[in-house]
Chains A and B, each alone.
Chain A
Amino acid sequence: MDYALIIATALGAIALYLLLPRGRANMVKLGGLASVLAMGVGITYLIHWTAAAHAGHTGIIENLFFYAFAALALVSAAGVVCHPKPLYAALYFVLMTLAVSGLFIMLMAEFIAVVLIIIYAGAILVTYVFVIMLASQGGQTPAAQYDTNSSDGFMAVFVSFVLLGTVLQAIFCAGPAGFMHSLPAPHAVAHGLGSLEVLGANLYSRYALPLELAGILLTISLVGAVMIARKNEPVAHVLGTGDLPAE
C-alpha cells in the first residue's frame, strides 16, 4: 500500500466532487485548492519514484514536458466534466486531446498523435458541437436544472476514483506482482512501431481483417446516423431551413 498515492487519489476525488457544477453552493475555490494539492502530491510521488528507480536521478528536467502535458490533460479533463456549459466542456475536450497527443509524441508515436487531433479535435468535436446545437432549447430560455447540475456526482466520483486508486496501486506496487516488474521490454519503440511505414505494413497485412471490420463499423454507423436523423424530420423553423429573413 502506498499512502502517498492514496492521499493523492482521495484529494483528487474531493477536488472533483467540489468542482462539479451544482446550483446551490459554490465551492470552486476549495475544489481548486484540493486539486492543486492532489497534483502536487502526485507529482512529488512520481519524482520520488523516478529517483528510486534510477539511482537517485530525479529526471525533472527530462520529464518536464511529460509533467506539463499530463497536468494539462488532467486539468482539461476536469474541465470537461465540471464546466456547466456544454460547448465549453467540448472545448476543454479539445485541449485534453492536444495534451494527450503531446504525450503520444513523447512516446515517438507521431502518427497516433496526429490521428488523435484529426479525429477527436476535428471530426468528433464537430459532431459534438452539432449535437449540442441540435439539442439546445433555443432562444433565451435558461438551461434546465438537469442540464447545468451534475446528478449523482458523489457516486460517479466515488466509483471512478476507487477504480483510479486501484489501478495506481497495481501499477506502482513493487515486487513480482507489480506492473513494472512484469512489463515487457519496449521492443515496440525499438522497432519503430509507432512510425507510419511500419504501421502501414502491419495494418494492411497482419491486421487486414480487423481493418475491414473497422470499415464495416464505419458503414454501419453512417447507416445508423441516417436512420435516426431521417426518422425525426421534418423540423420546422430551425436554423438552416427556409429563407433568410430580409435585412
Chain B
Amino acid sequence: MTTNINGMCPEIIMICGALIVMLMGLSRNDTVRRSTLGVAVASLILAFIAALRIGGIGTSAGWTLWPLATYDTLLASGVGILTILCSAGMPFGNEPEKPDRNYRGEYFALMLTSLAGVSMIGKTTNLIWLFLALELVSIPTYIMVATGRSNTPAQEAGIKYFFLGALSAAIYLFGFSYLYGFAGSTSYVAITAAFHAALATGHLPYVAIIGLIMVVIGIAYKIAAAPLHYYAPDVYQGAATPVTAFLSFAPKATGFFALIMVFNLTGWRLSGGTARVVPDLLIVLAVLTMFVGNVLALLQRNIKRMLAYSSISHSGYMLVGLAVGPFAAGNSPASGISATLFYLGGYSIMTVGAFAALTYMQGKSDAAEDLDDIAGIAGEHPFMAACMAVCLFSLIGMPGTIGFLGKLFIVQSALAGGHAVLAVLVVINAAIAAAYYLRIVAAMYIREPWSPFAVRQSTTLKAGALLGAVLTVFFGIFPALLFHQSNSSAAAVRSLVLNPPAGGIVEPVSRRATGRLLKSPLPAVAPTAAAISKP
C-alpha cells in the first residue's frame, strides 16, 4: 500500500492546495478570496511539473505502472488548469461581498480534491484505495452541481446526480467486494495472482465474473455509457456551465483509468469460456453508447444537452478501444489501450475548450443555452466563435485536429484487433456526429442574431478557450508528445500483462520514507496480501 511517497507528490500538492484555498476562502478580504484562483492554478502547475519529474521513475520495479500513472496525473493537472480557467465565469454565490455567503474558496477546493482523485487512480495498488479515489472524484462533483447555480434545474440536477452516483458507487463497491471474496485480498498483486491461477485452470469462478460485471456497470455510470446515461443530459444542462465542463472531463477520465486498472487485474484475457461475457459486455456498451449519444444529440436544440449527448458518444468511441484491449497492433499507437488513452487526452482538451467558449457566450445570467441564443455571434465576437468552431471541428474529427487522430487510432485498433464491424460503426457514428456539431457552427456563422449578446467579459475565460483551441490544433499537428505518453502507458500495461509480477512480491515500500519501519518487518504480524492469497 505504501506506494512510493515521492510518487504521490502531485496529489499531495493538489490536496494541500485545496486545503489552503479552502481556508483562504474564509477571509474577510475580497482580494484574498479572489486570489484563490491563482493559488489553485499554481498548485496544478506545480503538480504538473512534479508529475513530469516523477515520470523519471520510469518503468522501474513494483506493481504501479508509472507511465500510466504519470499520464493520468499529467492529464488531471493539465486539463484541470483548463477547467479552472473555465470556472472564472462562476457566479459564486448570491452575495459575493459577504464572506459566509460566498463560496469561491470552497469551489476551487472541491475542484482540486476532485482532480487529485482523478490523478490518483493510476497509482492505486489496492481496491480500497481505488474506491476511495473514485469517491474523492465523485463527491466534490455532487456538491459542485448542487451549489453551482441556485435555480430549480440545478437543484434537480444535483439530487439526480447524487442519488444515481451513490447507487453506482454501491454497485461497484459490491463488485469490489466480490473480487475480494474471490481473491481473499484487496491488493492488486493478490487479485492478479488469483485471476492468473483461475484462468490457467480454465474455470473462472462465477463470483469473479459477477464482480467484474458489477464493477464495469458501476463505472459505466461514471463515463455516462448507455444505458446508464440517462442522468447526463439533465445534469449537464442543470449544472452551471463551468461545472458541466468539469463533469465532461473528470468523471470520464476517472472511469476510463479505473476500467483499465480493473482489467489489468484480469490480465485482459477473458475471451475464453464463461468469462467471455465481460468483453462482450464492453462491446455492447460501446455500440449502444455511440448510437444513443449521436442519434439523440441530433434531436437537441439546447447546446448543453447536445454537448452532453456528444460526450456520451465519445465515451462510446473510447469503449471501442477498451474492448479491443492491449494486444492488437502491438507497440504501435493503434493498440486499443493506447488509442483509448490518446482519445481521452484529446477529448478532454477539446470538450473543455468548447465549454469554455460556451461559458463566455452565455453571459452573466448563464441562461443563454439554446441554439438561437448564439445565432450569429461570430459577427460580434469572432475570436471566441473561432475558438468554439475549432473545438467543434475537432469533436467532429476534422483532419488537422486532435479529434481526427483520436478517431483514426480507434478505427485502426479495431481493425487490428479483428473488430471490423466496430470500426465501421465508429466511422458511421463520426458521420452522424458531424451533423449536429455543424449545426452549432452554422448557427454561429451563418444565421442572423436574434437579440443583443451579453457575453461574460473575462480574460481568464478567454485564455481558457484559447488554450483549449490552440492545444487542439497543436496536438493535431504535433501529436508526438501526447502519443509518447499514451503509448508508453499502453506498453506498460502490456508488459505487466505479459509478465505478471509473482504473487510473492511485497508491495514496494520507499526506504527513505519509512526507513525505521523496516527494522521490524511488517509481515511478521500483519498477514501480507500474498500470504492470504496462498492458502
Contacts and interface: CB of A to CB of B under 8 A. Distances in A.
- Direct interface between A and B, CB < 8 A: yes
Interface in A195-241: 198, 201-202, 205-210, 213-214, 216-217, 219-221, 223-224, 227-228, 230-231
Given A176-B203, A177-B274, A227-B103, A182 B129 contact: no
A184 interface: yes
A185 B527 CA distance: 13
A209 B129 contact: yes
Given A167-B210, A188-B532, A209-B2, A220 B143 contact: yes
Contacts of B209: 170
Contacts of B8: 209
A231 B151 CA distance: 12
A221 B522 contact: no
Contacts of B315: none
Contact of A178 (B106, B126, B132, B206): B206
Contacts of B3: 209
Nearest to B535: A185
B336 to A, nearest CB: 28
Given A177-B206, A213-B129, A214-B132, A187 B531 contact: yes
Interface string B504-535: 00000000001001000010011100011101
Contact of A230 (B22, B101, B522): B101
A111 interface: no
Contacts of B526: 191, 198, 201-202, 205-206
Contacts of A167: 210
A227 B106 contact: yes
A207 B128 contact: yes
Contact of A179 (B2, B139, B206): B206
Nearest to A233: B101
Interface in B235-265: none
A52 to B, nearest CB: 19
A169 interface: yes
Interface stretch (B76-84, B181-189, B339-347): B181-189
Centre residue among A178, A185, A213, A231 by max chain B CB count within 10 A: A213
B382 interface: no
B517 A176 contact: no
B527 A193 contact: yes
A85 interface: no
Overall SS of chain A's interface: helix
A171 interface: yes
Contacts of A178: 205-206
A213 B183 CA distance: 24
Given A208-B2, A210-B129, A216-B15, A179 B110 contact: no
Contacts of A176: 201, 203, 205
B135 A217 contact: yes
A170 B207 contact: yes
A166 interface: yes
B180 to A, nearest CB: 10
A172 to B, nearest CB: 10
Contacts of A207: 1, 126, 128
B210 A224 contact: no
B109 interface: yes
A221 B139 contact: yes
B352 interface: no
Interface in B184-236: 184-185, 198, 201, 203-210
B321 interface: no
A223 B19 CA distance: 11
Contact of B132 (A173, A181, A182, A217): A217
A179 B525 CA distance: 28
B291 interface: no
B126 A173 contact: no
A216 B531 contact: no
A155 interface: no
Contact of A182 (B135, B147, B198): B198
A187 B182 CA distance: 14
Interface string B351-384: 0000000000000000000000000000000000
A3 to B, nearest CB: 17
Interface in B101-140: 101, 103, 106, 109-110, 113, 120, 126, 128-129, 132-133, 135-136, 139-140
Centre residue among A173, A175, A228 by max chain B CB count within 10 A? A228
A198 B528 CA distance: 12
A207 B126 CA distance: 9
Contacts of A183: 181, 184
A151 to B, nearest CB: 14
A220 B182 contact: no
A231 B525 CA distance: 50
B146 interface: yes
B30 interface: no
A191 to B, nearest CB: 5
Given A182-B198, A182-B207, A187-B184, A228 B100 contact: no
Contacts of B198: 182
A185 B194 CA distance: 13
B433 to A, nearest CB: 32
Interface of B: 1-3, 8, 15, 19, 22, 100-101, 103, 106, 109-110, 113, 120, 126, 128-129, 132-133, 135-136, 139-140, 142-143, 146-147, 150, 181-185, 198, 201, 203-210, 274, 514, 517, 522, 525-527, 531-533, 535
Given A177-B274, A213-B120, A213-B133, 19 more contacts: A177-B206, A181-B205, A183-B181, A184-B532, A188-B527, A198-B526, A205-B526, A206-B522, A208-B2, A209-B1, A210-B129, A216-B15, A217-B136, A220-B140, A221-B139, A224-B110, A227-B147, A228-B146, A231-B147
Which 6 pairs, one residue from A and one from B, show the smallest C-beta to C-beta distance? A184-B184, A185-B535, A170-B206, A224-B143, A176-B203, A182-B205
20 contacts: A170-B206, A170-B207, A178-B206, A179-B182, A182-B205, A183-B181, A184-B183, A188-B527, A198-B526, A206-B2, A206-B526, A208-B1, A210-B128, A213-B120, A213-B136, A219-B19, A224-B139, A227-B103, A227-B143, A228-B147
